[in-house]
Amino acid sequence: MINITLKDGSKMQTEKGTTILEVAQKISEGLARNATCGEINNEIKDIRYKIEEDCNLTIHTFSKEDLEGKKAYWHTTSHIMAQAVKRIFPNVKLAIGPSIDEGLYYDFDIEKPFTDEDKAKIEEEMKKIIKEDLKIERFSLPKKEALELMKNEPYKQELINDLPEGEEISFYKQGEFTDLCAGPHLQSTGKVKTIKILTSSGAYWRGNEKNKMLQRIYAISFPKASDLQEYLDLQEEIKQRDHRKIGKEQEIFMTHKLVGSGLPMYLPNGATIRRILERYIQDKELQLGYEHVYTPSLANSELYKVSGHWDHYSEDMFPIMKLDNEEMVLRPMNCPHHMLIYKNKMHSYKDLPIRIGELAHDFRYENSGSVCGLERVRAMCMNDAHLFVTPEQIKEEFGKVVKLILEVYKDFNFTDYEFRLSLRDKNDKEKYFDDDEMWEKAESQLREILIELGVDFYEAEGEAAFYGPKLDVQLKSAIGHDVTVSTCQLDFLLPEKFELEYIGEDGKAHRPVVIHRAILGTLDRFICFLIEEYKGAFPTWLAPIQTKILPISEKHLNYANEINEKLLQKGIRVQLDKSNEKIGYKIRKTQLEKVPYMIVVGDKEEQTSTISLRSRSEGDLGTTTLDEFITKIQKEIKFN
CATH value at residue 20: 3.10.20.30
Sign (positive or negative) of CA dihedral 554, 560, 565, 571: negative
387/337 same-domain check: yes
SS3 616: coil
321/461 same-domain check: yes
Total number of domains constituting the chain: 4
CATH value at residue 488: 3.30.930.10
337/475 same-domain check: yes
pLDDT tens-digit profile of 541-582? Answer: 999 999 999 999 989 999 999 999 999 999 999 999 999 899
CA trace torsion 66, 68, 70, 73 (10° rounding) = -150
The C-alpha angle with vertex 222 and arms to 221 and 228, in degrees rounded to 5, equals 90
526/379 same-domain check: yes
Residue type, 606: E
CATH value at residue 617: 3.40.50.800
- How much is the pLDDT for 435? 67
- The model's pTM is 0.82
CA distance 213 to 417: 41
Residue type, 374: L
Q: Quick check: is 459 in a domain?
A: yes
- Which stretches of the chain drop beneath a pLDDT of 70? 427-435, 639-640
CA distance 629 to 635: 10
CA distance 82 to 78: 6
Strand pairing report for 177-180 and 93-94: unpaired
CA distance 353 to 400: 12
- How much is the pLDDT for 388? 97
554/502 same-domain check: no
12/137 same-domain check: no
570/515 same-domain check: no
Q: Quick check: is 334 in a domain?
A: yes
pLDDT tens-digit profile of 207-257? Answer: 888 899 999 999 999 999 999 999 999 899 889 999 999 999 999 999 999
Instruction: Identify whether the C-beta of residue 469 lies closer than 8 Å to the C-beta of residue 489.
Output: yes
For the chain, the straight-line distance linking the first and the last C-alpha, in angstroms and rounded, comes to 66
Give which of 415, 426, 423 is closest to 471, Cα–Cα: 423
Give which of 204, 202, 237, 235 is closest to 103, Cα–Cα: 235
Cis status, amide bond into 539, omega within 30 of 0 = no
Residues 6 or more apart whose Cβ sits within 8 Å of residue 157: 147, 150, 151
CA distance 298 to 595: 39
- How much is the pLDDT for 433? 66
CA distance 203 to 105: 11
Q: Quick check: is 270 in a domain?
A: yes
- How much is the pLDDT for 421? 85
282/150 same-domain check: no
HSE at residue 31, side-chain half, CA atoms within 13 A, is 15
Instruction: Identify whether the C-beta of residue 404 lies closer than 8 Å to the C-beta of residue 397.
Output: no
Q: H helices of 413-556, where?
A: 436-453, 493-497, 523-534
57/110 same-domain check: no
Q: Quick check: is 456 in a domain?
A: yes
Q: H helices of 133-262, where?
A: 143-149, 154-162, 225-241, 243-249
Q: Quick check: is 539 in a domain?
A: no
Residues 6 or more apart whose Cβ sits within 8 Å of residue 457: 418, 419, 420, 421, 450, 471
51/80 same-domain check: no
| CA of residue 274 relative to chain centroid, distance | 20
CATH value at residue 136: 3.30.980.10
Instruction: Identify whether the C-beta of residue 285 lies closer than 8 Å to the C-beta of residue 350.
Output: no
Instruction: Identify whether the C-beta of residue 24 lies closer than 8 Å to the C-beta of residue 77.
Output: no
SS3 436: helix
Domain boundary among 504, 534, 564: 534
The C-alpha angle with vertex 34 and arms to 31 and 38, in degrees rounded to 5, equals 80
Q: Quick check: is 20 in a domain?
A: yes
Give which of 608, 544, 633 is closest to 270, Cα–Cα: 544
- How much is the pLDDT for 428? 66
Residue range of the domain that includes 319: 265-534
Residue type, 224: K
- How much is the pLDDT for 640? 46
Domain boundary among 23, 42, 61: 61
- How much is the pLDDT for 310? 87
Q: Quick check: is 258 in a domain?
A: no
Strand pairing report for 354-363 and 291-292: parallel
Using a CB cutoff of 8 Å and minimum separation of 24, what contacts does 309-313 make?
Answer: 309/333, 309/336, 309/466, 312/430, 312/431, 312/432, 312/433, 312/466, 313/466
| CA of residue 440 relative to chain centroid, distance | 29
